[in-house]
C-alpha cells in the first residue's frame, strides 16, 4: 500500500510518524502516516475474522496478503471485503 502511493520502499518509513512500523497510536502526522494507519487498520479488521485465526495467529496476520484499492477522488482506501477506511 505504502509503496504504491509513495513510489518508495515501505522500509524507508519504518518508525516514521505515529503509525509507520510496528504498532501505532495517536493522530497521524501527515498523509504518509495516515496511509500507515490505514494499513494497520486493514490488518486489524482482517484479523477479526475466524478464517484468519489459528496457530501463529499474530505472525500470520503480518505475512498474509489482502486485497486493497485506493480512490483519490473519494479519499478512501478499501481493504478487500473487510473494511473501508475514509481519510480526511
pLDDT above 80: residue 67: no
What does pTM read for this prediction?
0.54
Smallest CA-to-CA distance from 46 within 32, 30, 62 is with 62
The pLDDT value given to residue 62? 47
What fold, for 1-80? Phospholipase A2 (1.20.90)
Smallest CA-to-CA distance from 87 within 45, 43, 41, 48 is with 41
The pLDDT value given to residue 41? 79
- Grid coordinates representing 23? 504498532
Q: How confident is the model at residue 27 (pLDDT cuts 50, 70, 90)?
A: very high
The residue extents of the domains of the chain are 1-80
pLDDT above 80: residue 50: no
Maximum average pLDDT range among 7-16, 23-32, 72-81: 23-32
Q: What is the mean pLDDT of residues 28-36?
A: 86
* Residues making up the binding site for Ca(2+): 21, 23, 40
Amino acid at each position: 500500500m505504502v509503496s504504491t502511493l509513495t513510489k518508495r520502499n515501505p522500509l524507508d518509513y519504518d518508525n516514521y510518524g505515529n503509525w509507520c512500523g510496528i504498532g501505532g497510536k495517536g493522530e497521524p502526522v501527515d498523509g504518509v502516516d495516515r496511509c500507515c494507519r490505514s494499513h494497520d487498520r486493514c490488518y486489524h479488521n482482517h484479523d477479526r475474522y475466524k478464517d484468519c485465526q489459528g496457530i501463529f495467529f499474530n505472525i500470520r496476520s503480518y505475512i498474509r496478503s489482502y486485497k486493497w484499492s485506493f480512490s483519490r477522488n473519494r479519499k478512501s482506501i478499501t481493504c478487500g471485503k473487510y473494511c473501508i477506511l475514509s481519510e480526511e
